[in-house]
Amino acid sequence: MFFGNRPRRILAYREPVDMRKSFDGLVGVVRSVLEEDPLGGTLFVFFNRRRNYLKLVTWDRTGFCLFAKRLEQGRFRLPSESSLQELSAEKFRLILDGIVLGRRRSLR
């Protein structure tokens, strides 16, 4: 992962978020909607409506870090339908790469 310290938890919020939000807006979502502590070492993941763009926000001891990624093709897909999901670092890396998790395909 691209962070110096490994995040304590990775929480992905499935509901679409306005991607014009920056640090304060996303931290506000963490506090008011997710009811989580943004200073606790958790990496929070947010998606746009089309799910081709995501933003990550985390606290790194001295301030908030904000990262963004846009897929040129495809969409980010989460393994479950729940609105808030805790992800392992491995699953998160696969999601970042645009790989679909938890879907079985028929060989026909």
The pLDDT tens digits of the residues spanning 50-86 come to 999 999 999 988 999 999 999 999 899 998 889 999 9
58 is a domain residue:
yes
104 is a domain residue:
no
40 is a domain residue:
yes
One-letter amino acid of 42: T
Going by the DSSP 8-state scheme, the letter that residue 13 receives in this structure is: E
43 is a domain residue:
yes
Mark 6-40 as b/e (b = at least 16 C-beta within 10 Å).
ebeebbbbbeebebebeeeebbebbeeebebebee
Domain count along the chain: 1
Structural domain of 67: 9-96
Q: Tell me the Cα Rg of the chain.
A: 14
**pLDDT for the residue 4:** 57
Q: At residue 108, does pLDDT exceed 60?
A: no
CA distance 23 to 60: 13
